[in-house]
Amino acid sequence: MIAVDTQDILLILIAVVLVFGIGVVLLNRRGRGGSPGVPPVVSRPIEREPAPEPEPELAPRPEVHDEPEQEPEPEIESVDEAPSFRSRMGKAAAVLAGAFGGVRARSGITDDTWDDLEEALLRADVGLGVTTSLLDGLRERVSNKEISSPDELLDALRGEMVGRLAGADRGLHRTASDDQVDVWLFVGVNGVGKTTTIGKVSAQQTAAGLSVVLAAGDTFRAAAAEQLGTWAERSGAELVRGAEGGDPSSVVFDGVQRAKSRGANLVLGDTAGRLQNKSNLMDELRKVRRVADRDPGHVSEVLLVIDATTGQNGLSQAREFTEAAGVTGVVLTKLDGSAKGGIVFAIETEFGIPVKLVGLGETIGDLVPFDPDEFVGALFSS
């Protein structure tokens, strides 16, 4: 029996363990295909986005140059395009239409006929005095057998209404001598369209070949002077204005002097329309009238501007302004939007002041000479 040293046995065991360990490592390397000490790399497919399709080539866009917005040209060219009364007075005609229809529907002339006519005329603002006078005359003609049917009665009423407005001088006059300047003063309360009316008259007169100066005499309302300045630019007129709150008569006087020095034909003078202090306003108007009439100025027209929608209130305005400034004619504005056109009869009958111009719309051409035949015809058109 061979004796084995304990040390030799220990060395043999260590060698066996090393050999076994190396073998395990080699087997592990071959099975994973990697290098010793390096973890295996797992390959994954790379997801790629599809390549974008090429955009079609577009033709180059033309350059666009934005033009600045231009303000609309003033409608100076519409001066000669006067609207018809019939086309613009639908509301006033509608007031009378129902009554006229009721009158025609009856077989004869009854008490109800007179009631219907009276109510319609009053609603149209013809006024109690004029209405009573018209119907009393027609009653007498019916009583005398001159009128026997409803249609004859309405025809007679129309004729009477036209007759009430006939014969008045409705022209706008220039009566200054060769070495003077005509002045047209415009008076009326605030809000009736006075300044706009002056602008439209200015456009019409310059279109007719006159040289016009606008005098901004309403110095207590800055907006009035600004508005008048806009109209002066549109119509080709010259504007004279003073300091805010200044003396209105001095502005009108300066306007006359400017017109004289420039050889202008006509001065259109605006005046204040506030009513919070009536006595001072009327005293001021008297002064404006006196100053405007000083040489070389000559006041040939004083035009009272009344809003047709105010109805009978326009009569009190006519009374006050006539006493203060000597009104020669009336401009009735907003007639197209009012059912109260009958105020024409009340003004002309009570004060003897002719209606010279009427406003039938917003444009320059909608301010037209008053025509009694067309006016009454429009009232009877429905």
- pLDDT tens-digit series, residues 187-196: 998 889 999 9
- Kindly tell me if the per-residue pLDDT of 282 is higher than 80: yes
Listed range (41-45, 139-143, 301-305, 347-351) with the worst mean pLDDT: 41-45
Question: What does the DSSP 8-state code read for residue 115?
Answer: H
Inter-axis angle of helices 343-351 and 128-143, nearest 10: 90
> Is the separation of the CB atoms in 374 and 335 below 8 Å?
no
Mean pLDDT of 11-17: 69
**Of 250, 295, 243, residue with least CA distance to 269:** 250
Quote the pLDDT of residue 382.
56
**Between 77 and 101, residue with greater pLDDT:** 101
- Per DSSP (E only), the strands in the chain are 181-187, 212-216, 238-241, 266-270, 297-307, 329-333, 355-359, 367-369
* Other C-beta atoms lying within 10 Å of the C-beta of residue 205: 21
Of 251-260, 314-323, 344-353, which has the strongest mean pLDDT? Answer: 251-260
> Is the separation of the CB atoms in 349 and 326 below 8 Å?
no
Q: Which residues partner with 212 through β-bridges?
A: 266
> Is the separation of the CB atoms in 247 and 291 below 8 Å?
no
Mean pLDDT of 61-88: 50
How large a percentage of the chain has pLDDT more than 90? 48
Quote the pLDDT of residue 338.
66
Quote the pLDDT of residue 74.
40
**Of 301, 284, 200, 213, residue with least CA distance to 250:** 284
Q: Which residues partner with 358 through β-bridges?
A: 332, 368
Of 35-44, 105-114, 333-342, which has the strongest mean pLDDT? Answer: 105-114
Quote the pLDDT of residue 48.
46
Number of residues that this document lists for the chain? 382
3-state secondary structure of 187: strand
Mean pLDDT of 305-313: 83
Token representation of residue 150: 């409803």
- pLDDT tens-digit series, residues 270-279: 998 865 446 6
- pLDDT tens-digit series, residues 85-110: 888 887 777 778 888 888 888 889 99
**Of 328, 213, 326, 194, residue with least CA distance to 271:** 194
Quote the pLDDT of residue 61.
37
* Other C-beta atoms lying within 10 Å of the C-beta of residue 28: 11
**Between 82 and 37, residue with greater pLDDT:** 82
Confidence of residue 28 (pLDDT cuts 50, 70, 90): low
Mean pLDDT of 23-38: 50
Listed range (3-7, 14-18, 87-91, 255-259) with the worst mean pLDDT: 3-7
3-state DSSP percent of the chain in helix, strand and coil, to 5:
50, 10, 35
Mean pLDDT of 368-374: 93
Quote the pLDDT of residue 279.
66
Of 60-69, 222-231, 288-297, 338-347, which has the strongest mean pLDDT? Answer: 288-297
**Between 342 and 202, residue with greater pLDDT:** 202
**Burial degree of 238 (CB within 10 A; 0-12, 13-18, 19+):** middle
- pLDDT tens-digit series, residues 244-262: 888 999 999 999 999 999 9
- Kindly tell me if the per-residue pLDDT of 171 is higher than 60: yes
Q: What is the mean pLDDT of the chain?
A: 81
The rounded distance, in Å, linking the Cα atoms of 111 and 127 is 20
